[in-house]
Amino acid sequence: AMESPNYLTRKEAAAQLADRWPAAVGFPIDAPLQRRVELLNQLQSQWTEKFGNLDRVAIVAATEKSAPAVSNDRRQQVAQWIDTVWRGGDSGNAAMESLVALGAELPAALDAVAAQSDRPLPAQIYEKVLPHCDKNFELINQLADPQQSVRRSAIIALVKCYEEKTLSTVALSRISELLTSESDPVIWLHAFKLIEHDPREAATELAAAGMSHPAAEVRRRACEYFAAYPDAKRSDLLAATLADSNISVLHAVLLALAEAPPLADHAPLEKMLAASDHSLRLDAAVALSRWKVESGRAALERLAVDGDPKIRRTTAQAIGALGETEMIPTLIKMLDDQQDIRRAALLGLRSITGSNTSPMESAVRQAGLQAPVDRPDEISAPLVEQAQRWKEWYRTQYQR
């Protein structure tokens, strides 16, 4: 956010980061763009050196780095013991004893085996072996208990246990397996706390299972997961959820689709442009616009003159976030609307053009060999005056 061309955004972001990280104190939000970029790069380097740089695969990377190294010999030995457990009998019992003897080393070894095999682990490994090596597996196994109160206590305890550390892959896979058929929404909502920052396949499968849960709140949280971690393999599942009857679920699925790759068939999403709830129309229009579908842009133009001022204001904000220069004429028209909508349109214009002042004024400064420095006093001018400057710029640029 500190890279934003919008002065207020930079100011707020810089203040919040400085409150949390002393190294960011004193960041010059009024400095020329080139200097701000240079200093932001320095801050990013400092942050990465000290804390790492999180992205959507950070949890996987952290797990790989923090997990104890497993030698190839150990991996092969554990794989052989697992095969023996599958065969059962006395030899299977002996193999389980050998696995128990590995102690805390076992979960990492099982992760290494699972990484090279699609074969599931025998149930005995979860029930009779892993609880001796990691006490949290006692809680995980309680997720299969017939008593709801036991399952609820177990998931709450697991969330607390894993606040400060990452679930092993084998633990995550077991939780996903046990919860897929869980009916209690309370347990599901706690489970989402375990996976909300986890892009691994087992987490994705659990979220996908939540899409068909009877409880609307679970379905909504599942959609939110896919908004955070778009997955092309789940796009059809998201599209099918457009038939949901719950409005909060529909909002969530539209936000998820906006982050997902475009569907081959836009028709299910385009049907939402006629929804009785105009906020759903807006979400659908934004998703289609992100996919570069013309019907989305046309819908935004209609929503810009919607009878509900809240919809018009939110539309202006959405257009600014999209950053499409083709929508500038729509924002210019919205400068004649009521004050809060005019303000949203001004912010949208600044976001799209990258200028706090009108681009015409920036061009004048550049022609005078002055750096196009954003001026904080510009945004304190009366809204009517700011709007007039932008309309003059628009007439100069587009209506000659």
Per-residue model confidence as pLDDT tens digits over 344-387: 999 899 888 877 665 555 444 443 323 334 444 454 568 888 88
| pLDDT value at 400 more than 70 | no
Q: Is-contact 304 316, C-beta < 8 A?
A: yes
Cα torsion through 33, 34, 37, 39, rounded to 10: -110
Q: What is the pLDDT of residue 374?
A: 45
How many CA atoms does the CB half-sphere of 342 hold within 13 Å? Answer: 16
Q: What is the pLDDT of residue 366?
A: 44
Q: What is the pLDDT of residue 62?
A: 53
User: What is the per-residue burial (b if ≥16 Cβ within 10 Å, else e) of 95-111?
Assistant: bbebbeebeeebbbbbb
300: confidence class by pLDDT, cuts 50, 70, 90: very high
Q: What is the pLDDT of residue 31?
A: 80
- Say how far apart CA 400 and CA 398 lie, in whole Å: 6
- Say how far apart CA 115 and CA 136 lie, in whole Å: 21
Sequence-distant (6+) residues with CB within 8 A of 174 are 126, 137, 140
The pair of three-digit structure tokens given for residue 240, joined into one six-digit string: 């099918």
The CA-based angle 59-61-67, given to 5 degrees, is 95
Q: Is 56 helix (H, G, I), strand (E, B) or coil?
A: coil
Nearest to 290 by CA among 330, 322, 328: 322
Chain segment 242-259, per-residue pLDDT in tens = 999 999 999 999 999 999
- Say how far apart CA 132 and CA 128 lie, in whole Å: 8
How many CA atoms does the CB half-sphere of 264 hold within 13 Å? Answer: 3
Q: Is-contact 189 179, C-beta < 8 A?
A: no
User: What is the pTM (predicted TM-score) of this model?
Assistant: 0.74
Q: What is the pLDDT of residue 364?
A: 41
- Say how far apart CA 179 and CA 303 lie, in whole Å: 41
68: confidence class by pLDDT, cuts 50, 70, 90: low
- Say how far apart CA 368 and CA 199 lie, in whole Å: 50
| pLDDT value at 206 more than 90 | yes
